[in-house]
Structure formats: structure tokens, C-alpha cells
Amino acid sequence: MKINKISKISGTIIVPADKSITHRAIMLSCIACGKSVINNYLQSEDCFMTLNAFKQMGVSIEQENNKLTVTGVGIKGLKKPIKEIYAGNSGTTTRLILGILAGQNFSSTICGDESLSKRPMKRVIEPLSLMGASIESENNYLPITINSTGVLNSIDYTSPIASAQVKSCLLFAGMYADKTTTFTEPIKSRDHSERMLKSFGADIVINNLSVSIKHCSKLYAQEINIPNDISSASFFIIAGLIVPNSNIKILNVNINKTRDGILEVLNKMGANIVSDNIRTESGEEVCDIEVKSSKLKATSINADIVPRLIDEIPIIALCATQAEGQTIISGAQELKVKESNRLFSTATQLKKLGADITETKDGFIINGPTKLKGCTVDSFDDHRISMMLSIAGLIADGETEILNSNCINISFSNFYEVLKSICK
């Protein structure tokens, strides 16, 4: 993809549905009793991995425009898949589904693409094994075979990392365990699983950084309206701030308190952002966001806020290259084990474009503002890096070519159409 410098962006846009919530809505609907309807689900490669996995395990899922109708089979009603479950690039599919597979009465194998096969799975293998799951894998990487017997014991687990994927995996497995399973995390990560499990009827108690779930034999079908994804919106929020003379509005964005770290950081940087029409839909807070070009100042981001903006760090790094002063991002070592090593991919590609950015052991040091100059950069087959570099192309002199930009399909297949619609 080739992107040219632009003089302004303006207009009203809609970004795709929330990826995290879509995965969870599909998974819980499939193991609930009755017909669930999921409106505005995310039609992207990652979510199709989850969809296909459950179809393979015998669940009937009707797809009609952007609505899914799922006939749930009950918590233990999944069928043994006839072949391996392929999770593609999706860490969320893999880690969350393992929690559900652990409670079934069959063995199954899950595998993924090259990037996913290099991502750490010990974080879920270890606690699931403590619950009594029998798991085979080489060095804790995919492919993983889980030999489930339907028997799990409850545990009280303290996770060394703040990961919503690990938390969700254990909460899902906890439904199948004999008593109450408790998961404690060091910093609060996104809580979509807790909210959705509650609405499906699970007995969940949240106590600061701990979540407990009781044994559960039945979930109840729901109708869910999925809000739009703040992680996808973040590319356009920052485009609106750093492209001069811009004014854009993004509708129906999820601003769940465990996901809105980007808004807090940008506010501190002096961004002109207004959240309007704040409301609640399907248990999640939603609003419309209006953004105007702003003069930004540097900031610091540390471990405490990282889980609330984990996927937005590459685009925040781009934003910091345009802010006055030195921005220091720390406590973000988890970025090394995302779809690419995002500390490396972000720093090396922004540096190619002329940014003053240094990768550190757990983040970046960025001095700004710097003028960017178009050149050829690489997405490392990482959707968020591809979109971040495309936004960089809007402010870089001349032309920026992004290699391997197709990976945007993982979360935001119409990204370039939306971008084109606001480029004036």
C-alpha cells in the first residue's frame, strides 16, 4: 500500500466492531443453552477463526450481514473436531478456547500460523495443568493437544502477568471445575469476559484484582449488540490529532474503563478530544468521539496503565513523535510477544521514517516533534503495525510504501476505505 502526505482529514466514520468482545460473544453463545443473537459482530480474520472452530465442533451458526444467530449446544455439548483447530494469527482464539476445551470430554489439537506458533502459551498451559488438564506441546508452543476428560479441579491462581487472555481462559475453565476458581492479576486487564459471563448467568464475584467463578452447569442465550473497537478507532483518533486542520467524529466507540487508557494519555498530552453521547449497550460503555488537530506535549506511560492501552502503544508512539519534548514509555515488555515484536517493529520502522525513537528493554524513548519523510517500511505482517505506518504516511513528506499491508484483515478489513473517506 502506498500512502501520500495529506493536508487535512475530516468527516464522520464508523470503525469495526470490538474484536475482544466478538470472540467472547461467539464462544459463550456456542456453549449456552438456546439461540443467541450477536448484532454487529466483527467480520475479520481473527474472529472467523473462532467462528470456524466452533462450527467444526458441531455448533450451528447462521451468518447474515453483520448478525450471527448461534444455537448453543450447552456447556459440555461440543463435539470432538475431526481435524486440528486452526487459529490462524489469533492469540485470543487460542488462549480462550483452551479454557473451554479443557472442560470437554474429548481430546483436540489447536495450531496456528507462523507468528502464533512463536507466541508463548506457557501462561495458559501452566494454570490449566494445575487444574488437572492434560496438555501436550513442544516447549509450550503451538501445536497444543489437550486430552480432556471433563474433570477439572478449582484453583486459586495468581498470574505473574496482567493478561485478559490468560484471565479469560481460566474463568472459562473455572466453569467446568468442581468448586470456585479464583484468578488474581497484578494490574487489571480488560474485563469483557467477566461482564459477559455475568450476563450469560455465570456466578462471578470481582474483588479488586481478583475474580472468582463458581462451577457452572448452564449458561443462558443472550442478545448482544457489540460496540465498535477503541483499538481500531485509535488509528483515526491519532490521525485526527496529528494531521493539520483536521476534524473527525467516530461513532459508537466502546470506552470500557479497562480499555480507555489511550484517552487518558492523549488528554494529558493536550489533545482536543470530546466524548459525547455516553451510554451503555449490552453492559459496555459507548460514546461518540470527536477529534480536532492539536498541539501535543510529551508524556510518560508506565506499567500501571499499560494493560488499558496495550494494543494502542504503537500508534501512541507515532503520536509521541509529533509531541513537544521527551516521551518515555515503560512497562510494555508484553509488546515483544504480540503478533510481531512490537517494540522492535515500531521503533525500527518509525526510525526509518525519520523519528527520534529508541527501543528500551520495556518500551521506548521518543523525542519530538520530528518531521517524517516517506520511504518503504514493513508491517512485519502485524495488523496494528500496518495501520500505524499508514497513519504515519499521512504526515510524512512524499510517499510512504507499506510492505505486507494486507494483514489489516486480521482486525479491520475496510481500513483503507475508511481512511480514503476522510482524506480531503
Q: Which residues are catalytic?
A: 311
The DSSP bridge partners found for residue 418 are none
Query: Which residue's CB atom is positioned nearest to ligand S3P?
Result: 20
Q: Which is nearer to ligand S3P, 266 or 310 (CB)?
A: 310
Q: For residue 97, what are the contacts with CB-CB under 8 A and spacing of at least 6? A: 27, 50, 53, 85, 87, 110
Please, where are the H alpha helices in 243-371? 261-268, 313-320, 342-352
Output phi, psi for 48, to 5 deg: -65, -30
Stretch that binds ligand S3P, among 1-9, 134-142, 163-171, 393-401 (CB under 6 A): 163-171
Query: Does the footprint of ligand S3P cover residue 232 (CB under 6 A)?
Result: no
Nearest to 349 by CA among 387, 295, 311: 387
Nearest to 193 by CA among 101, 256, 271: 256
Distance CA 342, CA 336 (A): 6
Q: Which residue of 1, 20, 68, 332 would you call a contact of ligand S3P, by CB under 6 A?
A: 20
Q: Which is nearer to ligand S3P, 165 or 390 (CB)?
A: 165
Stretch that binds ligand S3P, among 81-89, 157-165, 284-292, 398-406 (CB under 6 A): 157-165
Query: Does the footprint of ligand S3P cover residue 131 (CB under 6 A)?
Result: no
Eight-class DSSP state of 404: T
Q: Which segments of 255-319 are extended strands (E)?
A: 272-281, 284-292, 300-301
Closest distance between ligand S3P and the C-beta of residue 166, in Å?
Answer: 6
Q: Which is nearer to ligand S3P, 23 or 249 (CB)?
A: 23
> By CB under 6 A, what part of segment 186-215 binds ligand S3P?
189-190
Q: For residue 114, what are the contacts with CB-CB under 8 A and spacing of at least 6? A: none
Nearest to 181 by CA among 190, 172, 191: 172
Closest distance between ligand S3P and the C-beta of residue 86, in Å?
Answer: 19
How many positions of this chain bind ligand S3P (CB under 6 A)?
A: 11
| Exposure string for 200-215, b = 16+ CB within 10 A, e = fewer | bbbebeeeeeebbbeb
Nearest to 223 by CA among 263, 168, 274, 281: 281
Query: Does the footprint of ligand S3P cover residue 224 (CB under 6 A)?
Result: no
Q: Which residue of 25, 27, 142, 164 would you call a contact of ligand S3P, by CB under 6 A?
A: 164
> By CB under 6 A, what part of segment 301-340 binds ligand S3P?
310-311, 334
Q: Which residue of 92, 232, 327, 386 would you call a contact of ligand S3P, by CB under 6 A?
A: 92
Closest distance between ligand S3P and the C-beta of residue 151, in Å?
Answer: 26
Nearest to 298 by CA among 275, 317, 274: 317
Q: Which is nearer to ligand S3P, 168 or 405 (CB)?
A: 168
Stretch that binds ligand S3P, among 158-166, 173-181, 217-225, 237-245 (CB under 6 A): 158-166
Closest distance between ligand S3P and the C-beta of residue 356, in Å?
Answer: 27
Q: Which is nearer to ligand S3P, 92 or 299 (CB)?
A: 92
Binding string, residues 253-282; x marks residues near ligand S3P by CB under 6 A: ------------------------------
Q: Which is nearer to ligand S3P, 246 or 379 (CB)?
A: 379
| Exposure string for 386-404, b = 16+ CB within 10 A, e = fewer | bbbbbbbbbbbeeebebee
Distance CA 192, CA 215 (A): 19
Closest distance between ligand S3P and the C-beta of residue 184, in Å?
Answer: 15
Closest distance between ligand S3P and the C-beta of residue 334, in Å?
Answer: 6
Query: Does the footprint of ligand S3P cover residue 89 (CB under 6 A)?
Result: no
Nearest to 302 by CA among 230, 225, 364: 364
Query: Does the footprint of ligand S3P cover residue 28 (CB under 6 A)?
Result: no
Burial of 69 (0-12, 13-18, 19+ CB in 10 A): middle
Eight-class DSSP state of 189: -
31, 423 Cβ separation under 8 angstroms: no
Q: Which is nearer to ligand S3P, 50 or 293 (CB)?
A: 50
Q: Which is nearer to ligand S3P, 11 or 186 (CB)?
A: 186
Interface positions with ligand S3P (CB under 6 A): 20, 92, 163-165, 168, 189-190, 310-311, 334
